[in-house]
Structure 1
Amino acid sequence: MCACWAIALAQTPLPYQSTYRTYALEALRAFYAMNFTHAEKLLNHLDSLYGPYAGTSYLKALAYSWRIELDPSTTWFDSFWERELKRTDSLLRCCAPHPLEKYFIGFANKALEVRRLYVRGEIMASVWKARELLSLLDGIRKYADTYPEMQFELGLYEYYIDYFSKNYPIMRPLLYFFPKGNETSGLARLERCARDSLNYTQYEAAYFLGYIFLYQAKRPTKALYWLEYLSKRFPENPLFRRMWAEALYQVGRYTDARQAILPWIEAYERACPHPPCYLIFGRYPTSEAVQAYGLLGMTFREEKKYTEAQQAFQRMDALLSTLGQFPAPTWARLQREAALLEKRMGYIHAAEARLRRLRAREDVPSYLKGELPD
């Protein structure tokens, strides 16, 4: 009997069966700890135990997604990411009779396709692709009380539909056809998932809560809670550590922010004497160092230690110049922070030159093209 029919006949869906769950959760923890080789071994072992399965293929796609999240300056992993997304979709069409598979894995896979487009700057294409989520949304709502992982997906949908409707006017004609969202309800669902240790989406929910509170909802105290939790749970993950440091910065704890980020910067400089360095070759990607130095400069700037701030931003610029690509919104945000230092130091022409370069790029969102604060 083929693996897909064996799964179909099982009373308990495969992700909830003890052996599968043990290996899958360990693989997820390995992603966040940046131990991708170990994660791949675990997922390949699941393949050997259960044969081709959409859930395992989706986890492989998620592993590539996390590599790109940690190092967006390289496209090395993109083709593998896309391959696993397509393979998951094919397995779902073939052999996914259970609601947990059809709706949870199906929705998660479509959402990851949307994220792939968004991460690579194809914002409108990502919204267009998101229409495919609608056919699964009723099923997610129907089974959300039975399978807690679906609360995560419903929470993300509710939050982001509301967020984009309010903050991206250009998207409103497309979003008109989507069921309305609710930021408050969405965040509440994510918090429930993040506090559930038996939930596959526990750490993903905590990460999205940290990201949303830090960058979108502008509630740094809430962000600090989740990002400190993730940083202490996965100290090897530079993304969690740097976002934690940024939350410390946003609540005015500049010395604590530096203490959080400096050990990683020092380790990066030892590990990468000849930048750029990429995640495929080690654990210290230059793209993360760019943001770490930018944050370091911001902490010194707010303490009026302008010489140290200038040195940090100069290192940021030098590392940026070694990268062939870098996410435009993040680049623009860092340029604005460096320009603000130049403005405060009285280097008005230098600050204006940065803003002109920023405003000339079509891939930079309009909200990042405004005037600098004082």
Structure 2
Amino acid sequence: MFKKIASFCLFSILLFSNVEGFSQSAMPDTFAIEQSRYLLLDKGLQFRITKSINSMYNFDFDVSNRDFAVLAYQYPDHPLPDFLMALSYWWRIEVDVTNEKYDDIFIQYLDRAIEKAEAIYDEDETNKEAAFFLAAGYGFQSRLYSERKKWTKAAWGGRNALKYMELSRGEEEFNPELLLGDALFNYFSVWIPDNYPLLKPVMALFPKGNKELGLQQLEQVASNAFYTRVEAQYFLFRLYASEEKKPYEALRISEYLHSKFPNNPYFHRSYARHLYTVGRWIESVDQSMEILERIDAKQTGYEANSGRYASFYVAEYNRRIGDMAMAKKYYLKTVSYGEESESQESGYYLHALVQLGKIETAAGNKDLAKKYFKEVKRYAKRKHPAHQEARDFIKKNKL
């Protein structure tokens, strides 16, 4: 739990919004000089970045990385190409944050982007583009280090990100992309102390936020920004699904993202999850079966973590319609994928074990049922709902 809290703190209060580019909407004449000063405002470059970013979100990394390599050749001293390469590896990490396979290369690209941004900033401390890359680069480093429980490095990255965040502000009137960082700060600077009072002294060091304003700003970015629109939508559906308790809003956004980026496994499993949450079970099963087929086909990004989600939704549906043989098959798949991804403490893994215990009890296989319930007690904390359900079932059925 502390890992999750720390990750929220270090990630959400920093400016880490993707800085692939600026809006394609017309810029005011008063900022004409900025267009020639900043590479990100180059109109010709925007189109190439758009295609590359879309490929990246759709997990077509061969296309996106080739385009980013061309950018690196054309702009060898600019942080943009290295940052985009880092971002492409971040999405590989995002699918399963427990997998450390891409950590080193992700950090290497961020280090290079930061080094190049620092060189620009050292020459001109008024360069907001350089400050923007520095804030984003350090912010992403901080998030990864918090996921890995490297708290000293995470705090150091966070402090640097905050420093440059302030220097990159003040451009919202012509750049909606920048608003994403402010939106996340406004939301989580209120959410964190409300949900975790022990962190109030930490959050007292930061400016006071406005949770409702943060949501409004996220909606604004999701509707009006060009390059960071997807990032805003990503955070909106996560907040609507969990903190705001608006499952239909979460479904609306995840459905759009899956339709636009059909090969993105994170958006795919989120869509299946939100369908399941609102009771559209048959559609959830259809999406889940497609996820499982893509795992079997070894499609890029589809792995055990997504399989754990998909198998559980299929199992739950079959249990609801009374097909216990199929339910058992997919609960076992849930357990298998959970063990493969080392997610034994996850809710889906634990609840799959509970249901397997119930199925085996009904079949008269009490020894096997006891084994499943024993595993629940092994991995779940006593206050976890699965632990409580297992204890109650064991007591009631005298196992």
TM superposition score category, shorter chain reference:
0.7 to 0.9
* Conserved 8 A contact 1:108-1:153: no
Q: Structure 2: how far apart are the matches of 1:20 and 1:243?
A: 32
Task: Establish whether residue 32 from structure 1 lines up as the match of residue 57 from structure 2.
Answer: yes
Task: Establish whether residue 296 from structure 1 lines up as the match of residue 314 from structure 2.
Answer: yes
Worse-matched range after superposition: 31-40 or 12-21: 12-21
Relative to structure 1, the CA distance from residue 353 to residue 172 in structure 2 (aligned partners, 3 Å threshold; closer, same or farther) is farther
Q: 1:334 aligns with which of 338, 341, 348?
A: 348
Read off the aligned partner of 2:111 and give its amino acid letter. K
Per the alignment, in what secondary structure is the counterpart of residue 216 of structure 1? coil
Shift of residue 67 of structure 1? 0.9
* Equivalent position of 1:316 in the other structure: 334
* Equivalent position of 1:350 in the other structure: 372
Read off the aligned partner of 1:53 and give its amino acid letter. H
Read off the aligned partner of 1:142 and give its amino acid letter. G
* Conserved 8 A contact 1:165-1:172: yes
Q: Structure 1: how far apart are the matches of 2:155 and 2:210?
A: 17
* Equivalent position of 1:54 in the other structure: 79
- TM-score relative to the length of structure 2: 0.77
Q: Structure 2: how far apart are the matches of 1:267 and 1:259?
A: 13
Relative to structure 1, the CA distance from residue 371 to residue 128 in structure 2 (aligned partners, 3 Å threshold; closer, same or farther) is farther
* Equivalent position of 1:89 in the other structure: 114
Task: Establish whether residue 68 from structure 1 lines up as the match of residue 93 from structure 2.
Answer: yes
* Conserved 8 A contact 2:331-2:353: no
* Equivalent position of 1:194 in the other structure: 222
Read off the aligned partner of 1:312 and give its amino acid letter. Y
Relative to structure 1, the CA distance from residue 339 to residue 320 in structure 2 (aligned partners, 3 Å threshold; closer, same or farther) is closer
Shift of residue 73 of structure 1? 4.8
- TM-score relative to the length of structure 1: 0.81
Q: Structure 1: how far apart are the matches of 2:271 and 2:171?
A: 34
Structure 1 unmatched runs, 5+: 1-7, 273-278, 361-365
**Cα deviations by residue, 1:247-278 (Å, 9 ceiling, x for unpaired):** 11111111121112212212322x25xxxxxx
Relative to structure 1, the CA distance from residue 162 to residue 344 in structure 2 (aligned partners, 3 Å threshold; closer, same or farther) is farther
Relative to structure 1, the CA distance from residue 349 to residue 178 in structure 2 (aligned partners, 3 Å threshold; closer, same or farther) is farther
Task: Establish whether residue 214 from structure 1 lines up as the match of residue 238 from structure 2.
Answer: no
* Conserved 8 A contact 1:248-1:257: yes
* Conserved 8 A contact 1:89-1:109: yes
Which structure 2 residues correspond to residues 100-249 of structure 1 after superposition, within 5 A? Answer: 100-120=128-148, 126=154, 129-196=157-224, 199-249=226-276
Relative to structure 1, the CA distance from residue 289 to residue 122 in structure 2 (aligned partners, 3 Å threshold; closer, same or farther) is farther
Q: Structure 1: how far apart are the matches of 2:386 and 2:129?
A: 43
* Conserved 8 A contact 1:301-1:341: no
* Equivalent position of 1:78 in the other structure: 103
Read off the aligned partner of 2:372 and give its amino acid letter. A
**Cα deviations by residue, 1:260-300 (Å, 9 ceiling, x for unpaired):** 2212212322x25xxxxxx8xx4432332222213323333
* Conserved 8 A contact 1:159-1:182: yes
Q: Structure 2: how far apart are the matches of 1:122 and 1:297?
A: 37
* Conserved 8 A contact 2:353-2:372: yes
Q: Identity, % of aligned pairs? A: 23
Q: Structure 2: how far apart are the matches of 1:343 and 1:231?
A: 35
* Conserved 8 A contact 2:35-2:42: no
Q: Structure 2: how far apart are the matches of 1:148 and 1:370?
A: 46
Read off the aligned partner of 1:333 and give its amino acid letter. G
Q: 1:264 aligns with which of 291, 297, 304?
A: 291
**Cα deviations by residue, 1:177-201 (Å, 9 ceiling, x for unpaired):** 12233322212111111112x5220
Q: Higher relative CO (CA 8 A, sep ≥ 6), structure 1 or 2?
A: 2
Relative to structure 1, the CA distance from residue 212 to residue 260 in structure 2 (aligned partners, 3 Å threshold; closer, same or farther) is same
Q: Structure 1: how far apart are the matches of 2:192 and 2:256?
A: 27
Read off the aligned partner of 2:207 and give its amino acid letter. P
Relative to structure 1, the CA distance from residue 94 to residue 253 in structure 2 (aligned partners, 3 Å threshold; closer, same or farther) is same
